[in-house]
Amino acid sequence: EDQVTQSPEALRLQEGESSSLNCSYTVSGLRGLFWYRQDPGKGPEFLFTLYSAGEEKEKERLKATLTKKESFLHITAPKPEDSATYLCAVQAGGGSNYKLTFGKGTLLTVNP
Amino acid sequence: DTAVSQTPKYLVTQMGNDKSIKCEQNLGHDTMYWYKQDSKKFLKIMFSYNNKELIINETVPNRFSPKSPDKAHLNLHINSLELGDSAVYFCASSPWTGSGEKLFFGSGTQLSVL
C-alpha cells in the first residue's frame, strides 16, 4: 500500500528563517509527487508536481525537490503569509487506480 | 467566480439522519472527486467520476452514495449518519482522469454528527 510520511508535523519559523519540509514515500511505481498548500477552512491549493528523481520546481520562495525516496519543500526567507499546512501526495503508476495518497501535512507558522 | 463550489459549508445533524452535499465545478473538467479529511487531517479519496462514470470507489460504507447528473456536478448523499462520519468533505475536479496534478478543491463541508 502506498504510504506518505511528512515531517515535522509542525514547524515554527521567524520571518526570513529558511527551512525545509520533508515528505518520505513508498509507492509501487511513482507516477507523480504533488505538493499542495492548505489554509485554515479552505481546500488544498496545488503548488507543484514532480515526476522523476532529480527534478526541481520553484515558485516564489518555495522550491520542491525529489529523490527516489523523498521530496523536500524548501522555503527561503519565509513571510507570515506562507503560514499554512503543506500537504504532500503521491500517485502510483500503472493500472486504473489514479488516486492520490496524501500525507498528514506539515503545519508551518511564520512569525513576523 | 468560484471554480469548485460545494454546499453547505457547515452541516450539523443528528445520528440516523440522511443528508446531502452538493458540488459544482465551472472549469469544464471531466473528472470530479470526493475526499474526506478526518480529525487527524488525513485526506483520503472516497469516489471519483469521469464524465458521469464512477471510476474510483474506495472502501466506503454503502451509506455513502455519489451521484453525478452531469460532468459539472457531483453530489454526495449519506444515509443513516453515524458519529464517525463527522469530518470535512472536499469536492475536487481535474482536467482528465489520472492527471493527479492540479486537482482543484472546493472549500469543504464540515459535517458534525451529534
- B96 contact A CB<8A: no
CB contact under 8 A, B100 and A98: yes
* β-bridge mates for residue B50, sequence order: B31, B53
Contact B107/A98, CB-based, under 8 Å?
A: no
Nearest-CA neighbor of B98 among A27, A84, A70, A91? A91
Q: Which residues of A touch B (CB under 8 A)?
A: 31-32, 34, 36, 41-46, 49, 85, 87, 89, 91, 96-100, 102, 104-105
CA distance A25 to A31: 12
Query: How far is B76 from B36, CA to CA, in rounded Å?
Result: 11
Q: What are phi and psi of B84, to 5 degrees?
A: -70, -10
- Reference A65, options A9, A21, A107, A98; nearest CA is A21
Q: Comparing C-alpha atoms, which of A7, A35, A5 is closest to residue A19?
A: A7
Computed over its alpha carbons, how large is the radius of gyration of chain B? 13
The pLDDT tens digits for A41-58 are 999 999 999 999 999 999
Residue by residue, pLDDT tens for chain B (114 residues) are 679 999 999 999 999 999 999 999 999 998 899 999 998 888 999 998 888 888 877 878 999 999 999 989 999 999 999 999 999 999 999 887 655 568 899 999 999 999
Q: Do the chains contact at B44 and A34, CB–CB below 8 Å?
A: no
- Residue A80: predicted pLDDT: 97
- Tens of pLDDT, residue by residue over A74-107, are 999 999 999 999 999 998 866 545 678 899 999 9
Strand B10-13 to strand A70-75: parallel, antiparallel, or no bridges (unpaired)? unpaired
Residues on chain A touching B104 (C-beta within 8 angstroms): 46
B positions 63-82 inside 8 Å of A (CB): none
Subunit contact B43:A32, Cβ cutoff 8 A: no
Q: Which of A99, A104, A107 to mutate to test the interface with B (most CBs of B within 10 A)?
A: A99
Show the cell assigned to B67. 451521484
The answer for residues whose C-beta is within 8 angstroms of residue B45's C-beta and 6 or more apart is A99, A100, B33, B34, B35, B56, B58
Chain A nearest CA to B80, separation (Å): 26
> Residue B85: helix, strand or coil by DSSP?
helix
